[in-house]
Amino acid sequence: MCSIMGYCSPDASLDTFQKGFEKTVSRGPDDSRIVDTGNGLLGFHRLAIMGLTPAGMQPFQLGKSYVVCNGEIYGFEKLKKELSDRYSFESDSDCEILLPLYQEYGTEMFSMLDAEFACIIYDGDTGEFIAARDPIGIRPLYYGYDKKGAIIFASEAKNLVGLTDRIMPFPPGHYYKSLPPDGRMETYYKGGSFHCYCDIAGTENICHDDLETVCRNIHDKLVSGVEKRLVADAKVGFLLSGGLDSSLVCAIAAKKSKEPIKTFAIGMSEDAIDLKYAKQVADYIGSDHKEIYMTPKEVLESLETVIELLGTYDITTIRASMGMYLVCKAIHQQTDIRVLLTGEISDELFGYKYTDFAPDAAAFQKEAEKRIRELHMYDVLRADRCISVNSLEARVPFGDLDFVRYVMSVDPELKLNRYGKGKYLLRHAFEKGGYLPEEILWREKAAFSDAVGHSMVDYLKEYAENTYTDEAFENLRLKYTHARPFTKESLLYREIFEKYYPGQGEMIADFWMPNREWEGCNVDDPSARVLSNYGDSGK
């Protein structure tokens, strides 16, 4: 990961900018640089992944223009070759192609990228600022306006605390473009606009491929998505929970790698569920595997740190982040790995335990579209923050744009659980080829926050229960009108969140919960454990 920031005003204070920007140096500890464009400031903290030499340091400059980008651009070599007859390149960094692309195609370039990215461009010829974010929002970007109305962009909300009254997530699949200055200062103040260049969740045409064709395409596109994410000049590792999604990512990578891949799993010291399955997968694929244990003391002592680094009060996100944060912390401290592949986004595409309750295919599809559009505030946020705060980079094969577009276009009638097993399409797609043991391939889904050990969530709930009396809970929860806390646990998380992000609760749309409108889903806990179809998931 890297960290970027842009203060789009000639009045920007360097001291103020630096104080905000230094809060995310862990995202890019290798080098830092701030440039004054003449019309505003751009900053970059570097975590070197591609093009490890000093020549790969940003901001990149072309003429009077600059760019900072936190991203990975897949297949950039082809674009670079096409541009090389008109532009000279000094590094092996994928992001160096961005300014030449902008020079050639303007804002149309964003729809050309196969990438996980967030970037800020300063057009030195027009004086305009342009910012953009990938269609799923895998790479973070936030924005707000200062007291004069000038827009400020940053990788994380914490960069903007104190600089703006309201911090908002930059919408995925959009770009922002300011107005040309025209010599008038007021054009810097709320003079720009946002434009959608890609709605990855929207499906204009339903694909009516038959089941076997769909599964064959799912197989091929996911394999391609994993393969392209193995390319890095830094060392690559894998988070392996023992569930279907991370196990498939690891199994594909193991087949594509000449050397044994390095896998990591975490669980509670007393009742870890997933560790045995993760080891079974690791033994089967021949990975260099490491188990990490966490204790109740570590969980409770890390809670405030995790909420601060996440910038959320969502129950599901915080619970699932406890294990992820601690395993990434261990990887950072004990290894020289820089890149981690993870299994996020599969649930939103293929269904989760609660989507078994979808009343029909149209409802399933509508829910999937909603979840994909909101992912950047939940699971994707979790992966980014837990990994980046430990100076690592996250790559998400299930978020591959070609893969997501295809799965979202598949007839939702096929995606409904009519097979007696959730995610049937994904499982069937990898039934041949010896990717995983049968027991893992067809294992029931267990939520990560539960699978590290049921005791972890129980400890958190008990801690919250002992923090508030019933009367205090009822009084304190009423302070919040947006996403009002509905359990003592949710209140505890909100109170800690407000300590670090005062008044910024609207950064998160709501609690990541099952769809209460569906029969069987009107529950007060986000854990799949409370659903009637949980079955053998936690065994």
Active site residues: 2
Residue 456 token pair: 């972890």
Do the bridges between strand 128-133 and strand 115-123 make them parallel or antiparallel, or are there none, so unpaired? Answer: antiparallel
Long-range contacts of 306-310 (CB under 8 A, 24+ apart): 306/386, 307/493, 307/496, 307/497, 307/500, 308/158, 308/496, 308/500, 309/385, 309/386, 309/389, 310/381, 310/382, 310/385, 310/386
Give CA–CA dist 417/307, Å, rounded: 34
Give CA–CA dist 75/528, Å, rounded: 38
Do the bridges between strand 193-196 and strand 174-177 make them parallel or antiparallel, or are there none, so unpaired? Answer: antiparallel
Give CA–CA dist 443/184, Å, rounded: 63
Q: How many CB atoms lie within 10 A of CB 283?
A: 11
Report the alpha-carbon angle 339-344-346, nearest 5.
140
Do the bridges between strand 193-196 and strand 60-62 make them parallel or antiparallel, or are there none, so unpaired? Answer: unpaired
Q: Which helix (H) or strand (E) holds 19?
A: helix 14-21
Give CA–CA dist 486/473, Å, rounded: 9
Q: Give strand pairing partners of 142.
A: 154, 169
Q: Give strand pairing partners of 31.
A: 46
Give CA–CA dist 468/497, Å, rounded: 16
Query: Nearest Cα to 155, choosing from 123, 133, 136?
Result: 133
* Dihedral pair phi/psi, residue 302, rounded to 5°: -90, -10
In 208-329 the beta strands, taken as DSSP E runs, fall at 236-239, 262-268, 288-294
* Dihedral pair phi/psi, residue 387, rounded to 5°: -85, -45
**CA 407 to chain CA centroid, nearest Å:** 19
Local structure of residue 259 (DSSP, 8 states) = S
